[in-house]
Structure 1
Amino acid sequence: MVAAQVASGVRAEPVRLTSVVVVLLAASAVAFLAARCGLRRACGAFLAVAAAGYAAEWIGVRTGVPFGEYAYTPVLKPQVGGVPIVVAVAWGGMGLAAHAVATALAPRRRGRRWALGAAALTAWDLFLDPQMLRLGLWTWADDGAYRGVPLSNFAGWLLVSFLVMVVIDVVVGQGSAGVSRGLVALYAVMAAMETLAFAAVFEPRDVVVAAVGGVSMGAFAVLAWRRRAWQR
């Protein structure tokens, strides 16, 4: 996954490797979770989150709820109902990683775990939306306050991400299998790679996104890694 991210950063047309990065991200997430709770539950959790993410996007492009008014361009393919399949895959992969981070921080407090997981997953979108807008993968009806992204988008992300955390708990068993260090590391790697990309690779660079996204995701990654909630 990291190799694909590096390759996309040095290519003249990075969008060609976007789907490759997302698929490798999702495969890594499922593999790490499977080591903790078995392949069946891991795949079930991934598919459930991907379905929830797709449903939210399908509703979103038609109604503007819960993210705001936006639309996908034809760049990412294949699409079903105006939503690229790879977007649902991204929800699944990072949803599992954010849930692991939240479980490390609040292994026994369900409501707090869901809230932390929602915030951790939304922190990723502080990178994702500006990056995808650069690549022309989707458009907003109106320019927003954060690099062209409306604040309603992040409110929507918090809502959907909270639902994602609940779904994973139901399928996996509320963290009973322990926390995967691999999933926490996956979240940390995404934070580091996105920060580096916006700070030094993308043209033009964007130190604001690098700082805001890096601090937000980085704080979750560092705190989760320091907690010894996972099993050996």
Structure 2
Amino acid sequence: MVAAQIATGLRPDDLRLTTVVVVLIAASALAFASAATTPQRAAGAFGAAVAAGYAAEWIGTRTGLPFGDYHYTDVLWPRPGGVPLIVALAWGGMGLAAHAVATRAVPARAAAGRAVPARAVLYGAVGRVCLGAVALTAWDLFLDPQMLRLGLWVWAEPGPYRDVPLGNFAGWLLVSLLVMTLIERIAHHPAPAAPGTAARAGATGLVALYTVMAVMETVGFAVVFRPPDLLVAAAGGAAMGTCALLAWRGTWRK
């Protein structure tokens, strides 16, 4: 996935590489999530996130809600219902990674032999959903400017952030809250005080996936892409980087 991501910066005209990157993100996230929970829970959460993302895009291209007035070009395919399938896969793959970031930053674990109070369970779930939604929306600070560069979609009225309307990010946050709620409901369950090695490795893999995307996008916009864009590199790097640091801080404290 890293190699494919580097190749997209070196060969931006080869749009097939964009599809390869997203497919590998989704496959990596699903594999790590299967280890972190169970294959059944991971597949269910991934499928729910993909379906929610697809539905939001389908509604958005027809009504302008919740992202704003935009449409996809003819570059990405297949496009069932006018929505590129690869876009829905991106919601699923990065949705799992963003939820893992939030889970590491907002754990819900009791000491051995002690139950987690109901209020703490609720607060933990709300915290994970909210932080996960922020982490997923932070990715769009990179995603939209990059995809506009490649001509994959067009805004009817360009906005102030590299032609992206600010209302788009409010829409992303709203849909991300739905995606995080679905993943939390399906994939998250109270972990034992000492989770297995495979589960820890799977969760760490998801956080690493999110972190790698943050680093690669920051470097890409700062150095690799032509012309470079330091504004996007700084905004996206700060947003995704902060979320990633919160997750690694939670890991280091355990």
Deviations 1:93-129 (A, max 9, x none): 0000000001111123111111101100000000000
Instruction: Decide which structure has the larger Cα Rg and report it.
Output: 2
**Is the CA contact (8 Å cut-off) linking 1:54 and 1:88 kept in structure 2?**
yes
Secondary structure at 2:135 match in 1: helix
Task: Measure how far apart 1:16 and its partner are.
Answer: 2.0
Provide the residue aligned with 2:162 in structure 1: 147
2:242 maps to: 219
Contact 2:9 2:225 in 1 (8 A): yes
Distance in 2 (CA, whole Å) between partners of 1:38 and 1:45 is 11
2:10 and 2:225 in contact (8 A); partners too: no
**3-state SS of 2:160 partner:** coil
SS state at 1:81 partner: helix
Corresponding residue of 2:226: 203
Alignment of 1:40-189 (within 5 A): 40-108=40-108, 109-174=124-189, 176=191, 180-189=203-212
The residue identity in structure 2 corresponding to 1:17 is L
- Counterpart CA distance in 1 for 2:28 and 2:53 is 18
Show structure 2 runs of 5+ residues with no match.
109-123
Query: Secondary structure at the residue paired with 1:227?
Result: helix
TM-score norm. by structure 2 comes to: 0.87
Offset, 1:74:
0.6
Per-residue deviation, 1:230: 9.7
- What stretches of structure 1 move > 6 A for 4+ residues in a row? none
Q: Secondary structure at the match of 1:7?
A: helix
- Distance in 2 of aligned mates of 1:202 and 1:175: 43
TM-score by length of 1: 0.96
Q: 1:229 to 1:162 in 2, by over 3 A?
A: farther
Cα RMSD of the aligned pairs, angstroms, is 1.6
The alignment-based identity, stated in percent, is 63
How many pairs align?
A: 231
Higher RCO (CA 8 Å, separation ≥ 6 residues): 2
